[in-house]
Amino acid sequence: MKTSKNKCLVAILFLTFGVLFIGVFIVVGILFFNEKTIVVDGGFIQDAVDEADPGDIILVKASGGPYEEEVTINKDNIKLIGIGKEKPILNGTGMVGVGITINNPGAMVQNFIIQNFATAIRAFDADGHMIKGNNVKDNGLVGLFIDNSDNNVIKENTVTDNGNDGIFLASSVNNMIKENSVKGNEQGMLLNNESSKNIIKGNIVNSNTNEGIRLEESSSSNMIKGNTVNDNNFGISLSNSTSNMINRNTINENGQDGIFLISSTNNMMTGNRVKDNGDEGILLSTSDSNIVKGNTVNDNGQGILLNNVASNNIIKGNKVNNNVTDGIQLTGTTNNNDVFFNRAFGNGALPFFDIENFGTNNFKGNKCDTSNQPNICN
């Protein structure tokens, strides 16, 4: 009998706080922001969007769902927020269409489950959105698609098991992608077509089929910092991208390379922990004028590899230990790279070395036990 009374009391309290929560939203909106609040509990979310004025708040109750529709936000500063003990479900029909399309600036989309569309959320040609706390899963193509859209915050979402990209930025600038969990997608995050000056920080990007994080097509001046990028095929890859910072990430147990640059210049990789990757910890291929500094690169198939006319790079102050083959290798096509003050020990036995050089490169202050040329280990 006591247990039944306790459950009843909890239910009453939960209902009371829910009513108060909605009431606070309505009062604050009216008094301080001149916004009205629309509550959706069944029916269609799109009807509420059509009724709303710019700046209004739409609260969607989980109890009224699942909502089987596509929603288009075509007014400025609409706040679309899921409420309830569980997140409300926006459910597609057969991996087609877009769950939520945002065509106007300043939208908020928060606290939904969005599933079974081709794309869960697409922000197109409109800026300044907050996409937060959503569970985006099982969509046929893309989880979150930011398309020619700037100054957005994508935060605290769970993005899993989408057919292509978990989070995809195309031609988008000055976005913050922070504290998301991105797992089980074909590709975790993709930035392309001159997506620049974005910050990718504090995300968990694990167990995606191809890359964890990929930048391509002249994506420049992005910051990739403090992420955990494990158990993908490649960890972080850059193709034809410049002036990006890859800083203090944990990049472990990826099937091929931890960090892979191809045809990319003037990037900086500092303070990363790169361990137990199947091929190279860090690979620079046909890539010039990059800085690889202060990284810990241990227990990979190979530590750091420069090949295919990689030139004028700085490899400095790295700890490169216990890799299966070479610790640091520069192939015969490499030229004028500075390999300074690295520590490389315990890497593969003959025919492998702690540091191996076949090109025309510069060495100073390295600590190692074995090398294929004299005066490389001091």
pTM beyond 0.85, yes or no? yes
Taking the C-alpha atoms of residue 308 and residue 233, their distance in angstroms, rounded to an integer, is: 22
The encoded tokens of residue 211 equal: 């890359």
Find the angle CA(272)-CA(230)-CA(181) to the nearest 5 degrees: 105
Taking the C-alpha atoms of residue 362 and residue 346, their distance in angstroms, rounded to an integer, is: 22
Residue type, 315: I
All residues at 6 or more sequence positions from 374 whose CB lies less than 8 Å from its CB, including other chains = none
Q: Which residue stretches of the chain have pLDDT < 50?
A: 1-5, 7-32
Domain boundaries, the chain: 1-34, 36-185, 230-378
pLDDT of amino acid 35: 80
pLDDT of amino acid 94: 76
Do 230-378 and 36-185 fall under one CATH topology?
Answer: yes
| Closest by Cα among 139, 153, 50, 32 to 93 | 139
CATH class of the domain whose range is 36-185: mainly beta
Residue type, 75: K
pLDDT of amino acid 95: 78
Three-state SS at 115: strand
**Rounded to the nearest 5°, which phi and psi values hold at 355?**
-135, 130
pLDDT of amino acid 33: 52
CATH class of the domain whose range is 230-378: mainly beta
